[in-house]
Amino acid sequence: MPIGEDSELPPGLALAWRLPVKTTRLGRKPSQSIEQIVGAAVELADADGFDALSMPKIAQRLGLTANAIYRYVRSRDELLVLVAEAAWGTAPDLASGVGLASGAGDWRDAANMWTRAMIDRCDVHPWLCDLPVRGAPVTPNLLDWTEAILKVLTGAGLTSTEALRCAFVLDGYARQIGGMRRDLRYSTATPTQSDTVTRFLLPRLHERGHSVLASMMNGNDYTDDVDDDDVTFGLDRILDGIDVLVTAKRAADARRVLDGGA
């Protein structure tokens, strides 16, 4: 049954679930599909960044008039919901990746895989880091991503609320890394990691008493890059923190079992 324009659903939600949406716009039969509109928008953003996601530019790419595109999506906000859903794509299969289905897998491996899959999606579609976050996930693909990590963390013994909070931290880390790598990759600024910059900064660092920074710069350890070792280090520290919570929960559960058996 078509969803009317007076629905209280957020923009784009019904379309993301592939439900028909009632429209009052008249005219010729549409020459494009929603999928074609979204596909063109994703291609445009991949080529020219988030700012390219304007209704006139997408219409021009498809050979439509500026007004004609509104026969497919009713607003830019609606379009952004659909392109986010398409760009994030299918959630990683954590069970097959680390053997969780058989009980042999480790929650930490699965959480690592999930977070890195998010970072990888941001590498493929760098503009994802610029999309506004308007609330908790409600579209199919994003709900699949959320359910995947929640199953892992609740399976490790966390409550659903604790799991969601941990997922929020991992999500934020992935987006931060994705955004930093994107900014560095596409930066047009003069690199700060160079012999010229080092010669300029070293005496000034010593004047300010910045001995640690001076030593790092001398050893070429003060870099512009966010490489895999950097990602691993930060992610391991987050997972260490979650592990403390998981271990405490398991210890508490074990005590309850012993107390109950006494």
Please report, for the chain, the start and end positions of each structural domain, with discontinuous segments joined by +: 13-88, 94-188+226-261
How do residues 243-258 score in pLDDT, each as one tens digit? 999 999 989 888 888 8
Alpha carbon dihedral 256, 257, 260, 261, in 10-degree steps, equals -150
- pLDDT, tens digit (0-9, with 9 covering 90-100), for 33-68: 999 999 999 999 999 999 999 999 999 999 999 899
Instruction: Report whether 69 contacts 87 (CB < 8 A).
Output: no
pTM of the shown model: 0.88
Report the distance separating Cα 49 and Cα 126, nearest Å: 8
- Tens digits of residue pLDDT in 2-13: 444 446 788 899
d(CA 225, CA 196): 18
Q: At what angle do helices 76-88 and 107-124 cross, to 10 degrees?
A: 130
Phi, psi of 126 (to 5 degrees): -60, -25
- Of 1.10.1040.10, 1.10.3720.10, 1.10.357.10, 3.40.1400.10, the CATH number of 94-188+226-261 is 1.10.357.10
Q: Which helix (H) or strand (E) holds 172?
A: helix 160-186
Domain 13-88 has CATH 1.10.10.60: yes
